[in-house]
Amino acid sequence: MLLQTLNRALNILKLEKNTYEEISKDRSSVFGSGVVILLAGLVNVYLFKAFILPTLPNDVPLIPIFLIWIFFNWYVFSNVILIIVKAIGGTQNLKNKRIVFSLIGFSNTAEIFKILIIFFPNFIVIISWSILMLVIASQVVGVKQIYKLDKISTAVGVVIASYIAQFFIIGLLVFILIKLAY
């Protein structure tokens, strides 16, 4: 299973369309995508600790940061994509949430390569933006393939709308938490 997960992750990086079909048909693919998203979360939390935490006035507990990252980047984002695909009239694979969790988990494979920032800290912006573009591209290809959308522009719209919706969800939660704190 580990070799299959590694092979799928590498194929996702190459944007191979058949891989998305494969993960949509394999019931165990959600476990492989879980491994990928956990590794990506660990890399991001480590980078947070190394580059951002030293500049904050108070210590921030890393385990909650890790869990929040996983929650929003896997669970919330997957559900938002599914809702938007349903809203635009998608017809394929809409009842199986496991498929969208697998898609989003594997699409975060590129996030693991942020570890390069440790070796090339002067290129933090270039590496971060490049990896974000690769993640978005893999999500667009995956949404188009798995949900059988006619146009790539529709898949781009679904992914961009999902990021915007997730941004507003996070903003709303922060607003509510701030109001509750006072």
> Which pLDDT band holds residue 95 (cuts at 50, 70, 90)?
confident
Residue 65, pLDDT score: 87
- Give the mean model confidence (pLDDT) for residues 144-169: 93
The token pair that represents 162 in the structure block: 């999902």
- Give the mean model confidence (pLDDT) for residues 68-93: 89
Question: 59: how many CB neighbours lie within 10 A of its CB?
Answer: 7
Residue 93, pLDDT score: 67
Residue 7, pLDDT score: 82
The end-to-end CA distance of the chain, in Å, is 49
Stronger pLDDT, 85 or 52, i.e. the higher one: 85
Residue 48, pLDDT score: 87
DSSP the chain: -HHHHHHHHHHHHTT-HHHHHHHHH-TTHHHHHHHHHHHHHHHHHHHIIIIIGGGSSS---HHHHHHHHHIIIIIIHHHHHHHHHHHTT--SS-S-HHHHHHHHHHHGGGGGGGGHHHH-GGGHHHHHHHHHHHHHHHHHHHHHHHTT-S-HHHHHHHHHHHHHHHHHHHHHHHHHHHHHH-
Give the lowest-confidence range in 49-53, 66-70, 101-105: 49-53
> Is residue 152 over pLDDT 70?
yes
- Give the mean model confidence (pLDDT) for residues 92-97: 74
